[in-house]
Each structure stands twice: as C-alpha cells, then as structure tokens.
Structure 1
C-alpha cells in the first residue's frame, strides 16, 4: 500500500523541563493528520527530561529542522531558560519569517513573546501567567484558543488538544479535525469543575497559586530583565 505523501511539516520544540502534556497532546493530534510529518525539534539530539520526569528524544535539532508549515512551542518550567536562549529565539524568528502558523501551548507563549512575535497581538497562556504577556506588548485574552493572524496560542496544558484540533482545521479543514477528534474520542467530561480559577473553590485556587509561586517569581525576574522593566 503506498505511503501518504508528506504535505505538512510540523515541528514541536522539545527541551529540558518541558511540560510533557503540552507537547504530547498536540503531537498525538498532529501525528493523526494524514500527510503530516511531525518533528520533535531539540536544541540538539540529546534526550531531555520533561518537568515530570518523562524522557523525550528529539527527532531533529534546530540546525537540521526543515522549513515548517507549523511551529509549536509548548510550555513548562523549561521555558524560563528558553526566554533568554538566543539560539532558540533566532530559530523561532527565522521560522516565523516564512508564511507558517506559529503557535504555542501554555507558557510556551512567553517564549514567543521573548522572540518579539506577540507585539500588539492577542494571545493566551496558562491562567497563572496570563498577565505576564503584556510585558511583551501582547494583548492577554483569557481563552482556550486565541488566533491573531498567523499566531495561534493555546491556554494551559490540556488546551493543547483544543489548540491542535483548531490548527488541523486550518491546515486540512474542519472535517479532518473532527475526524481526528472522534478517532481520539476527545469528549471531555471532567469529574470536577476545578479547571479554571473562575470555577475552582477558593481554597483550591490558593493551593494551586502556592504550588506555582516559585516558577512565577523566576519568570517575573527574567521578563523584567528582558523587557527592561527591572
């Protein structure tokens, strides 16, 4: 049986401290798209460890990555280092010079901001970092998916599924996106209404903010240095 001809080159950045679901959820959707070749783009070819300990091995590196139709930057604690990594930021800018979809999941949006791609753009990210986007000249929007031109940003972690399906619809049409959604049985019915600060109990919101506080403080310091607001 003949193989499907590659029509879409899709790259997801993979790095030390990536939030694995930010990466693997959209990967699963993109890899289900007929004609797609999905690359895990590392700084080099060395295996990295996600923020929760899952080993991940890049399939290509920044220097060898082909021209993409879609670039996705996932989030995680590792974005703190990426925001000041000139090689990574130059790679993102170079890919973005081409007419492609430039995307992020969760706090990956902060890296797009550091690369200068969110100025005067509507964008979203994890609720715990949403206000930080304005330091990069972005217009923060509290939503699961936000598109502004060729920039598509997804909210926190699980929003990667929603974002990826929306991106597939852009690349291959709504029917293809819905077919993938059905094949993956993506019909969320969470057991608790605690997925957003607007619906979670106050004590849960407080506990989550405390858990994220150290990373948040580090990001504030980095962003202040980058933008000259320190």
Structure 2
C-alpha cells in the first residue's frame, strides 16, 4: 500500500488502523537547502546521529515517531540513522548492536537529532567519550547553517554544548547534567522540551518522544502530531518552552 492510499484509508478508518506498516528506511536526498514547515512540499529529511554507547531509547523514540509521521501527512518524511565515521555497526549503551547505513551529511538534512548516553560513565563509550575525542562536537559545530534544525535528547545536548551550539541559548538536558549545561553557557529552562527555533532540546530519556512530537507539530502540523499520539497511544507530556510563535 503506497503512502497516499494509506492516507485515504486513515481518513476512513481512523488513526487506530495505522498500527502496522511503519517505514523502515530512507532514500537519497538532494543536498540543497529547502523550505520547511507544514506548508512545504519538499521532503522533511531527518538524520539521527549514532555513536558507540548511545542510549537505545534516545534513538528509537525519535526515529519511530518521525518515521511514522509519514502516515499522517502528504509530505514525504525521510529518516535515517547516520554515523560520523560512515556506515558501520555500533554497540549501544545496553548492548544492542545496530547497523548504520549512512554517513553524517548535514548538508542533506533539515533536522539533525543528537541522542545521549554514557555521560555519567566517563570510562565507557558514550557522550563523554565523544566529547573527549572531539570529532563529533567539531562536526556538529560545522554543521550549522540556515535551514538546519539541531535537536538533542537527554545528554545529547551536552554534545551540542561541547560544540558551542547551546552557549547563550535557551535549552535543557537530563536533570543530572543541568549544572554542567549552565556552567558551559547554556540558558537552562526547566521544561521537558525547549524550542529555540533552530535549536530544540529535551530532557531525560523518554522525552525523546516529546521532542519528536514537537518537531512533527512544527514541520508537519498539529493534525499530524495528533494522529501520531492516537496511533502511539501516547500524549505529549509537559509544557514546551518556546522562544517564538508556533503550535504549542
């Protein structure tokens, strides 16, 4: 069943009928920047950044929400896992092995999602090890450009902090990393999701669901987010702190 047929079926049967048939991959995307927002016809291109020691739920929740969003809009949504070092197998925080099929290519993305994991385990793989290595924070710093939204879940925000992205910007992170985020120049907001335009951050682990739903509301519209909530049997939690107009 193609996407438009699925949408017609959804209209007739309601969101509950969409419990099966999640997209599992993404096609190649053009490298030029494209208009964004609910009225855009250009595909919404999302890259979820993986690294050794990444938290499983930090990657799975945004990936599933954003991939499933394709069922609730006539705009294409392309979501892929990427790694700085190119296609490879990574081992996540709790031992899950994941095959990453694409290299990080921010010039081909509208949204980069940076997950957390391992920030408190400084002797093990994870965010702290990536900060010490330096390559991923440098790549994130260099990725910034008009039209690209940097989003981060949990201690993935600390990778953006190491990249200098959060300095002087409203943001949030896992409660155990908030002091570090403030000391590094972030303007801490004690909200579950903080939307500061091209920087969207979320708190601890499960808030990846809320981060992704916020991005869906912004980029694809409120109806798409409501349809997802029905399908997922999950209602967005907490108040979104936002620096500008837009659906809350």
Could you say which TM-score interval applies, normalised by the shorter chain?
A: 0.7 to 0.9
1:19 aligns with 2:50: no
Alignment counterpart, residue 99 of structure 2, candidates 42, 46, 57 = 57
1:70 maps to which residue? 111
Superposed counterparts of 1:134-149, under 5 Å: 134-149=182-197
- Any conservation in 2 of the 1:72–1:105 contact (CA below 8 Å)? yes
Distance (whole Å) between structure 2 residues aligned to residue 155 and residue 142 of structure 1: 9
Instruction: Select 1:158's aligned residue among 184, 206, 214.
Output: 206
1:81 — aligned with what? 129
| Partner residue in 1 for 2:73 | none
* 2:87 aligned with 1:42: no
Give the Å deviation of 1:66.
Answer: 5.0
8 Å CA contact 1:19, 1:76 repeated in 2: yes
Mapped to 2, the partners of 1:38 and 1:105 lie a distance apart of: 16
Equivalences, count: 188
1:101 — aligned with what?
149
Deviation at 1:149, TM superposition (A): 2.5
Hey, what does 1:29 align to over in structure 2? 65
Deviation beyond 2 Å, 4+ runs, structure 1: 1-6, 84-87
- In angstroms, what is the RMSD of aligned CA positions? 2.0
CA 1:87–1:111 in structure 2 vs 1: closer, same or farther (change >3 Å)?
same
Q: TM-score with structure 1 length normalisation? A: 0.76
Find the partner of 1:8 among 20, 34, 44. Answer: 44
Instruction: Tell me the equivalent position of 1:224.
Output: none
Shift of 1:91: 2.3
SS at match of 1:129: helix
Q: Whole-Å Cα distance in 2 between the matches of residues 39 and 57 of structure 1?
A: 11
